[in-house]
């Protein structure tokens, strides 16, 4: 069992027999009453979103998940191939299973595959990744009092907004949760 006070973002728990990962966590303390823990969680099986409130001190069932370290190898015909770090066994996952995560995959990088009851349910990415800017327009001089951004295409095909001083072939750090620019790498 997991105390709801420990349900931070990224934590995996079980509700009604399904594994969920916490997307958003908030701890609300009202005047004289008990604290309330509010979470927003996403199902690892079907992507359904669950919003739930718990009284402080409650517990949830721990999900029986297994994290496997893998290295991304290559893409071929809609399948993405990974190699398990311990056994060197290859695992192939279809593009629709990975969803938007494909925009952050780089060959040779390490990731975690989460398995629930023996079958893969999700690919866990780090919070930020470093990607190369493949294409962007030139910056222009002018009013720079407020932050100005321009469109850019990264090496994986991800489209994002970058500051004017970023050029083609620069490396930037990107947030994998929303695909936004974080900083120059």
pLDDT digits (tens, 9 = 90+) for 20-54: 888 888 888 877 778 888 889 888 887 788 888 88
Instruction: Give the range among 15-19, 125-129, 148-152, 178-182 with minimum mean pLDDT.
Output: 15-19
CB 21 within 8 A of CB 122: yes
**In whole angstroms, how far apart are CA 108 and each of 29, 55, 74?**
45, 44, 9
**145-175 as b/e: b if 16+ CB within 10 A:** eeeeeeebebeeebebebbbebeeeeebebe
So where are the chain's domains? 2-62, 65-124, 128-184
Can you tell me the distance from the alpha carbon of 105 to that of 98, in angstroms, rounded to the nearest whole number? 10
pTM of the complete model: 0.73
Token pair belonging to 100: 């938007």
Place of tokens 């993405």: 80
pLDDT of the residue at 135: 92
Start-end of H helices in 55-159: 95-98
Can you tell me the distance from the alpha carbon of 125 to that of 117, in angstroms, rounded to the nearest whole number? 21
CATH architecture of 65-124: Beta Barrel (2.40)
For the cut 80, the answer to whether the pLDDT of residue 183 exceeds it is: yes
CB 50 within 8 A of CB 43: yes
| Assigned CATH for 2-62 | 2.30.30.30
Q: How many CB atoms lie within 10 A of CB 114?
A: 18
Domain 128-184 has CATH 2.40.50.140: yes
Largest CA distance in the chain: 59
For the cut 80, the answer to whether the pLDDT of residue 89 exceeds it is: yes
Q: Answer yes or no: same fold for 2-62 and 128-184.
A: no
Which sign does the torsion angle of CA 162, 168, 173, 176 carry? positive
Split at pLDDT 50, 70, 90, the class of 81 is very high
CB 19 within 8 A of CB 46: no
For the cut 70, the answer to whether the pLDDT of residue 91 exceeds it is: yes
Token pair belonging to 13: 């728990």
């Amino acid at each position: 069992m997991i105390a709801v006070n420990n349900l931070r973002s990224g934590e995996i728990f079980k509700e009604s027999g399904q594994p969920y990962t916490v997307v958003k966590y908030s701890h609300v303390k009202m005047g004289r009453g008990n604290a309330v823990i509010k979470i927003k969680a996403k199902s690892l099986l079907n992507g359904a979103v669950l919003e739930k409130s718990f009284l402080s001190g409650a517990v949830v069932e721990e999900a029986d998940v297994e994290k496997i370290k893998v290295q991304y190898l290559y893409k071929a015909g809609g399948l993405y191939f990974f190699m398990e770090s311990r056994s060197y066994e290859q695992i192939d996952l279809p593009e629709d299973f990975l969803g938007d995560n494909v925009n952050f995959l780089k060959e040779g990088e390490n990731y975690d595959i989460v398995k629930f009851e023996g079958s893969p349910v999700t690919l866990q990415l780090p919070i930020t990744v470093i990607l190369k800017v493949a294409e962007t327009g030139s910056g222009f001089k002018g009013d720079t009092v407020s932050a100005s951004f321009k469109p850019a295409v990264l090496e994986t095909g991800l489209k994002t907004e970058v500051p004017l001083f970023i050029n083609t072939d620069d490396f930037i750090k990107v947030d994998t949760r929303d695909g936004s620019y974080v900083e120059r790498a």
